[in-house]
Amino acid sequence: MATVAAISTPPAVGGISLIRISGERAIEIAAKVFHPFGSTEVAKMKGHTCVYGKIVYGGETLDDGLLTVFLAPRSYTGEDVAEISCHGGIYVTRRVLRAIYSLGAEPAQAGEFTRRAFMNGKLSLTQAEAVADIISAEGENALKSANMMRDGELFRKIKSVSDSLVHVLGSLAAWTDYPDEDLPEAGPEAVLPALEDCKQRLEKIISDYDAGMIFREGISCAIAGRPNVGKSTLMNALLGYERSIVTSAAGTTRDVVEERLKVGDVILRLRDTAGLRDSDNEAEKIGVRLAEKAIGEAQLVLAVFDGSEPLSESDRLLLEKIKGVRHIVVINKGDLPQKIDKSLFSDEIILEVSAKEGDGLKKIADAVYEMFGLSGYSQHPEVFANERQKLCCDRALKYVSEAISALSLGETLDAVTVLIDCAADALLELTGEKATDAVVDDVFSRFCVGK
């Protein structure tokens, strides 16, 4: 493969920038652009060593910095790797990179270094995907989960299930092809317990998926209610700063205001919406339509009501709109005399707060954790699959379940074998042991250049 290079640090001003070169010519190219101070020769450097020197191209000194050398196969990519650390100015970093390109390196594509690590057997596909999860992790559980995947935890779980399925396939094949040999029984009674065990283990991995997606991507949360119930005040209070405009005039919020809030170890993707009511104002009517759209798309609705007033017709309309959607009733303005009749809310989680005074806001975080069943995960993080991995597990579970049903209905072992083989293939695709080029391309298209 061609020798490639890219900037592996963010494209912004900082203390240090790192340029990575990987491939069979990595050390040769580095030697042409990096001149160590002293007698060290780049071509003779040992792996996992670094040297201080100057970066030179066309007779001009571009910068001074460090060169670190990793020799194949003991490198991140499994190839010879040279990493040049220079000062973190955008211009100087790009000058150094252009010099490296002019000496024969090609620009690395998105995720190419990690892709090479996968192709060279340094990482499984699930471990490679975990690298991207580590970079994007926004909470403790997401980071722990990504690190567990990076260490091969998910790979080991899936490999254990696929090994069990392959063992069943081997037993069935031997028992069918050599009926006269003294082989262990591989009929339905012997195969069924193994398949049931595989099914349970797959169901456990899949059951962790929803919680995993929440910790990794957050919860889309719409703050909804009629005008002047304190939606924008609540959003500002939760964020700790003024993001939404707050006035005493009804209908101030016309658009959907979005912001991210860290609640415990979960990100709430908050959306402050326009007050729900009938209006002759065209701009406000558009805002109301956007609010209704946000409610329909949200994973969670914070339905805000003014506790200092009785329920209005607009309040009752909101209760109708959020039926079937996960929601929390937030009775605001707890600092004022209460007139709302709480008995009119049935089977809802009801929280009484004062957004203006900042009282009771922690109850919202507790209710979110309780509603989404996340409390246990904060102490016992699991390995969370991404969408691609979950779909592979779904397919494997489908085929295993069909194999169990086929055995129960007395289908031939040939038919059962086909189903088990399909299940094993799905798991092998998940780990990358039998992945198509299209699957691999899709996985690494999500990475940034330089990783």
pLDDT (0 to 100) of residue 377: 58
Using CA atoms, how far apart are residues 240 and 70, in angstroms rounded to an integer? 46
Using CA atoms, how far apart are residues 427 and 232, in angstroms rounded to an integer? 47
Are 240 and 260 in contact by the 8 Å Cβ rule? The answer is no
CA dihedral 166, 167, 168, 173 (to 10 degrees): 90
Q: Which residues contact 324 (CB under 8 A, 6 or more apart)?
A: none
pLDDT (0 to 100) of residue 196: 93
Strand-by-strand arrangement of the 60-70 sheet? 34-36, 49-57, 60-70, 81-88, 14-22, 4-7, 106-107
Neighbours of 100 (CB within 10 A): 28
How are the residues of the chain apportioned to helix, strand and coil, as percentages rounded to the nearest 5?
45, 20, 35
Q: What are the pLDDT digits (tens) for 198-253? A: 999 999 888 777 667 777 778 888 888 888 888 888 888 888 877 654 444 444 44
Closest-CA residue to 51 (of 62, 61, 63, 37)? 37
Are 292 and 278 in contact by the 8 Å Cβ rule? The answer is no
Ranges of residues in the chain with a pLDDT under 50 are 178-184, 245-255, 379-381
Using CA atoms, how far apart are residues 111 and 129, in angstroms rounded to an integer? 10
- Give the β-pairing of 257-263 and 219-224: unpaired
pLDDT (0 to 100) of residue 174: 59
C-alpha distances in angstroms, 56 versus 35, 38, 310? 7, 15, 76
**Which residues are bridge partners to 220 per DSSP?**
269
Using CA atoms, how far apart are residues 193 and 120, in angstroms rounded to an integer? 37
Q: What are the pLDDT digits (tens) for 359-409? A: 888 888 888 888 887 766 554 445 556 778 888 899 999 999 999 998 888
Instruction: List domains and CATH numbers for the chain.
Output: 4-108 (3.30.1360.120), 129-208+385-444 (1.20.120.430), 222-378 (3.40.50.300)
pLDDT (0 to 100) of residue 246: 45
Closest-CA residue to 225 (of 338, 301, 132, 153)? 301
Burial of 51 (0-12, 13-18, 19+ CB in 10 A): middle
C-alpha distances in angstroms, 128 versus 289, 392, 431? 42, 16, 10
Are 274 and 251 in contact by the 8 Å Cβ rule? The answer is yes
- Site of tokens 């809030």: 261
pLDDT (0 to 100) of residue 170: 76
Q: Token digits for 270?
A: 């908050």
